[in-house]
Structure 1
Amino acid sequence: MQDTKLTNPNPDYPYPKAEFKRFAFLKPLITNPNILVGDFTYYDDPDGPEKFEQNNVLHHHDFFGDRLIIGKFCALATGVTFIMNGANHDMSGLTTYPFGVMGNGWDEDFDIEVFKAQSRGDTIVGDDVWIGRNATILPGVSIGSGAIIAANSTVTKDVPAYGIVAGNPAKLVRQRFDDRTIDRLMDLSWWDWPIELINRHRTIIQGNDIDALEEASKDLGDYLPQQ
């Protein structure tokens, strides 16, 4: 079954519903070049989503160069927080106290490279990920596409595609689908389809028939450049 409504909200305008501004597409609100967000990913906050960079991405210092990368079609609930590498302390010595950043003489032998060596790399969220209210994502974590992060979870390690995690620290509760289905979904990667094709088959994407989704994917040929 094909969708007859072949329109979609504008991913480059923050508010898909202008009268309901508690949630917004993040991509047009982001100004930091080290935060990359895909189309149609939204953040919901009754106090306004406009300060996501300032309020929800913490300790994100330019000198680290670490990136927060969030894919397409993700849903971020109120209070989702990303802790970036600037929160880490040097653990190579006998103390973790950051003397060097205090200045006033304590910074004379401060080696920024030692501090940067604590970096755990980029934080990456795949596509079609749902992150629940007040969840916290620690530095360097990779969350696979299709995953669900339960409310109030603290994610300290990587989450597999289509996994459901919960708790502090978050642990895998279960997979959303069997391994074969997950492999098929990842191969299809519907979120990378042209938006016209997503509109065309939106009801199938929202359904639970992966055979129908594979059949719909055959229409990708209609959108390939003509030789």
Structure 2
Amino acid sequence: MSERKPSAGEDAAVAFSRKIEILTGTGHLPAVPAAPARGFHLTATPPAACSYFFEEGTMLRSPMIAGARAARCLIGAHSYMNDGGYFRGGTIIGRYCSIGRRVTIGAGMHGMSGVSTSPAFRGGPSRPYTSSEREALGIAPRPSEQFTVIGSDVWIGDGVVILPGIRIGVGAVLAANAVVIGDVAPYSVMGGVPARVLKRRFSEPVREGLEASRWWELPKSQLDILPKGNVIEFLERLAEDPQPAAALDTYRIETPDAADPRGA
């Protein structure tokens, strides 16, 4: 793996929400000088040319990255993934996320509507099902390919599996070994196979206040002096002294044969 220093002087003052819009195809993400992240070790599986973006303070421990869309991945500031993690291309992870060991984000899927689920028979000379055939067999329409998005401040326990295209809301908690097959509401605590809501972290007014504050976009220096152990006091203090969103550097790290994703 090598690091390439992009051209100097490009604007890095892009809010995280804007970066998500960029990665989903509405613009170009500016590159800034590359810098290593703590514990940053990559393993790529073909055809994934590992070129992706991360903000300051990221820590990844030997993740496996797979899929042709690996060039479009973003990991937010101060998020970490522990040993044995796996995620596919087209993954966006917010800021301050805590991801345990052996977590799979964007798990691979096998088609179940043919004679066999084995990929050995993929791409054979079959015609597509007609609408009436799909209805008779009870086959749901194939979902369009979407990004898997993990909101900020999400805690994912060891062994969790998240299917591709899922949206995990900000502040959610996924209990160890949960299998997440649908979108997760903000500040929900989920567990089980398949995952279901166990409880909410806070009352609705508090949840709404935290979401509206978008505190994860603030400078960490400001967050460090706020009373984070008491969420009521935190919101009160934040209302008294609002701060602008942080403009954090974005870095790129890639394999030598990675295509430049900015024009993708």
TM-score, normalisation: structure 2 = 0.57
Deviation of residue 94 (structure 1)? 6.1
- Paired residue for 1:38? 76
Which stretches in structure 1 are left out of the alignment for 5+ residues? 1-10, 17-23, 61-65, 112-116
Secondary structure class of the residue paired with 1:197? helix
Alpha-carbon separation, structure 1, partners of 2:127 and 2:220 = 50
Which stretches in structure 2 are left out of the alignment for 5+ residues? 1-34, 41-57, 129-141, 247-264
Instruction: Extract structure 1 runs of 4+ deviating beyond 6 A.
Output: none
Change (3 A) 1:72 1:121: same
Change (3 A) 1:88 1:34: farther
Correspondence for 1:82 among 105, 118, 121: 105
Map 1:4-153 → 2, pairs under 5 A? 13-15=37-39, 25-26=59-60, 32-45=70-83, 52=85, 56-57=86-87, 60=88, 67-84=90-107, 87-89=109-111, 91=113, 96=117, 98=119, 101=122, 106=124, 117-153=142-178
Secondary structure class of the residue paired with 1:87? coil
Asked if 1:169 corresponds to 2:191, the answer is: no
Deviation of residue 100 (structure 1)? 5.6
Alpha-carbon separation, structure 2, partners of 1:118 and 1:126 = 21
User: 1:210 corresponds to which letter in structure 2?
Assistant: I
Secondary structure class of the residue paired with 1:172? strand
Q: Does the 8 Å contact 1:149/1:165 carry over to 2?
A: yes
Query: RMSD of the alignment, in Å?
Result: 3.5
Q: Does the 8 Å contact 1:89/1:118 carry over to 2?
A: no
Alpha-carbon separation, structure 1, partners of 2:245 and 2:160 = 38
Alpha-carbon separation, structure 1, partners of 2:64 and 2:239 = 32
Correspondence for 2:234 among 195, 212, 226: 212
Q: Does the 8 Å contact 1:144/1:162 carry over to 2?
A: yes
Structure number with the higher helix fraction is: 1
TM-score, normalisation: structure 1 = 0.66
Alpha-carbon separation, structure 2, partners of 1:223 and 1:158 = 27
